């Protein structure tokens, strides 16, 4: 039987769990965390339920650097994560305490539950506990396979952490904020959350805000009420179209400031008013937001409402750039090729190992979207197999005729030299030619300045 440790200043949760869930789990109880180190040495724990607020214990039982009973649970969570990363923790919070819940997740809590939700919801608590335990013991290969079937490919540690975050977000109905650069796959991540959620059988609506003139965004989101005098017909907006499902507000940082207050009201009561309408319309939907902007900076500059920012970031997930998951490039390339073949009905082309290795060492400022564009262009250039020659010929066409250095080095692809050797030759050649002028070297080689500085240090060039 699984063992659950409850750390709480009151034994109310312990008594509740013992009464309703004792057939499924064995429960232990601690009033404080003073002897937590010894406790873990003597007991095998599968999960921890941790209260946030410890108002009922004296100051001498607090472990925080400052005697802050309201945030003692946060200090205990830090201590737990200093001892072990393997035991999942579910933080118990009071109703509406979103800031503490977000802080707990960022510090390594698996999940959080509002204590008001426990009464009469034994199955909810049981399922959250079982899911957290299952996830902590999950074989990464099963997770990789599961997300591959959903269209998200990768097996790197960064990809696995992303998959875990998305799977965890899908269990909740809270808003999710996806943060990451353009082309990293935020749309796909949002769609995956929807597919894994209880709303999977209802609509998933993607509203890309930058594609719409600011004058039209309000009517697109809220819909339009019929007006006989003007001949305007009624039209449902995205909030209504997403009812029962999920609405992705893509590039939320582009939402005009005057509409942000209206969005905040929608978030709070799930009630909308069509443009020109007077009757409230209830709509049940989940909101996911995506942005490549720094919203904290936008708040500081007055371009984004602070109250809205704190409401939409209850669950924040970083969608990493391709530069943070280079080892996933081969799997992504194969997936892109497979997708092209399925979409077009053509035979799937092969790709050589050396071509794959070359793609791994490229800069990808446009991330997965750019990689997809390049691979599909290579498919069109190939004759059934993508080789280093296919890639070299494509790169040669992009280089001006006067860029003799790059043409000379890229032609070396076909002579069997490794990419690392060719890159070094190119940098050393241009370093000598331009007498160490970084700007000229970067312009001539096409290598980003940050990467160029790393290479110059690596090759002992000053």
User: What is the predicted pLDDT for the residue at 362?
Assistant: 81
382-413 burial, b if ≥16 CB within 10 A, otherwise e? beeebbbbbbbbbbeeeeeeebebbbebbebb
User: What is the predicted pLDDT for the residue at 399?
Assistant: 45
User: What is the predicted pLDDT for the residue at 97?
Assistant: 57
Q: Split the chain (462 residues) into runs of 10 and give each run's mean pLDDT.
A: 92 87 92 92 92 90 86 90 86 67 76 72 79 78 92 93 89 90 96 95 93 82 74 83 95 92 90 88 93 94 93 90 94 94 92 86 90 91 79 56 49 54 76 85 78 84 78
User: What is the predicted pLDDT for the residue at 402?
Assistant: 45
3 state SS of 121? coil
**Read out DSSP for 172-217?**
S-S-EEEE--TTSSHHHHHHHHHHHSTTTTS-EEEEEGGGS-HHHH
CA 220/CA 275 separation, integer angstroms: 9
User: What is the predicted pLDDT for the residue at 231?
Assistant: 56
User: What is the predicted pLDDT for the residue at 396?
Assistant: 45
Nearest partner of 333 among 381, 366, 268, 379, judged by Cα: 379
User: What is the predicted pLDDT for the residue at 71?
Assistant: 85
> Is the separation of the CB atoms in 182 and 366 below 8 Å?
yes
Say what the pTM is.
0.68
Sheet with 111-114, edge to edge strand ranges = 25-30, 2-7, 47-51, 89-93, 111-114
Pairing status of strand 176-179 against strand 286-291? parallel
User: What is the predicted pLDDT for the residue at 229?
Assistant: 47
Share of the chain above pLDDT 70, in %: 88
> Is the separation of the CB atoms in 103 and 74 below 8 Å?
yes
Write down all domains in the chain, each with its CATH number in brackets.
Answer: 2-137 (3.40.50.2300), 152-320 (3.40.50.300), 323-458 (1.10.8.60)
Q: How many CB atoms lie within 10 A of CB 58?
A: 11
| Helical residues (DSSP H) of 48-184, grouped into ranges | 72-83, 98-106, 122-136, 140-149, 157-171
């Amino acid at each position: 039987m699984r063992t659950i440790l409850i750390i709480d200043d009151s034994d109310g949760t312990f008594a509740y769990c013992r009464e309703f869930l004792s057939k499924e789990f064995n429960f232990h109880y601690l009033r404080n965390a003073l002897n937590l180190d010894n406790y873990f040495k003597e007991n095998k724990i599968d999960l921890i339920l941790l209260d946030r607020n410890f108002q009922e214990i004296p100051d001498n039982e607090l472990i925080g650097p400052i005697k802050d009973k309201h945030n003692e649970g946060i200090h205990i969570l830090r201590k737990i994560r200093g001892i072990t990363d393997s035991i999942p923790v579910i933080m118990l919070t009071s109703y509406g305490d979103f800031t503490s819940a977000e802080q707990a997740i960022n510090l390594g809590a698996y999940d959080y539950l509002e204590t008001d939700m426990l009464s009469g919801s034994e199955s909810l608590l049981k399922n959250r506990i079982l899911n957290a335990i299952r996830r902590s013991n999950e074989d990464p290969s099963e997770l990789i396979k599961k997300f591959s079937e959903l269209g998200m490919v990768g097996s790197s540690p960064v990809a696995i952490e992303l998959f875990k975050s998305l799977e965890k977000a899908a269990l909740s109905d809270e808003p999710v904020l996806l943060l990451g650069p353009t082309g990293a796959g935020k749309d796909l991540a949002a769609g995956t959350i929807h597919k894994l959620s209880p709303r999977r059988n209802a609509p998933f609506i993607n509203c890309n805000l930058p594609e719409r003139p600011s004058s039209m965004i309000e009517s697109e989101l809220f819909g339009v009420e019929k007006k006989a005098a003007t001949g305007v017909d009624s039209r449902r907006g995205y909030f209504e179209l997403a009812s029962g499902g999920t609405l992705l507000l893509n590039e939320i940082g582009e939402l005009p400031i005057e509409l942000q207050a209206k969005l905040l009201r929608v978030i709070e009561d799930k009630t909308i008013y069509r443009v020109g309408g007077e009757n409230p319309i209830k709509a049940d939907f989940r909101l996911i937001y995506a942005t490549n902007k720094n919203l904290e900076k936008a708040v500081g500059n007055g371009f984004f409402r602070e109250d809205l920012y704190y409401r939409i970031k209850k669950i924040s997930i970083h969608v990493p750039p391709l530069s943070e998951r280079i080892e996933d490039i081969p799997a992504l390339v194969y997936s892109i090729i497979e997708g092209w073949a399925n979409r077009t009905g053509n035979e799937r082309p092969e790709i050589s190992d050396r071509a794959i290795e070359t793609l791994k060492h490229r800069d990808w400022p446009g991330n997965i979207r750019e990689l997809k564009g390049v691979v599909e262009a290579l498919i069109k250039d190939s004759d059934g197999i993508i080789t280093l020659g296919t890639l070299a010929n494509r790169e040669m066409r992009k280089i001006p005729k006067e860029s003799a250095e790059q043409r000379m080095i890229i032609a070396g692809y076909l002579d069997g030299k490794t990419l690392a050797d060719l890159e070094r030759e190119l940098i050393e050649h241009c370093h000598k030619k331009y007498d160490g002028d970084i700007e000229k070297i970067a312009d001539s080689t096409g290598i980003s300045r940050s990467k160029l500085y790393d290479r110059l240090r690596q090759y002992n060039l000053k």
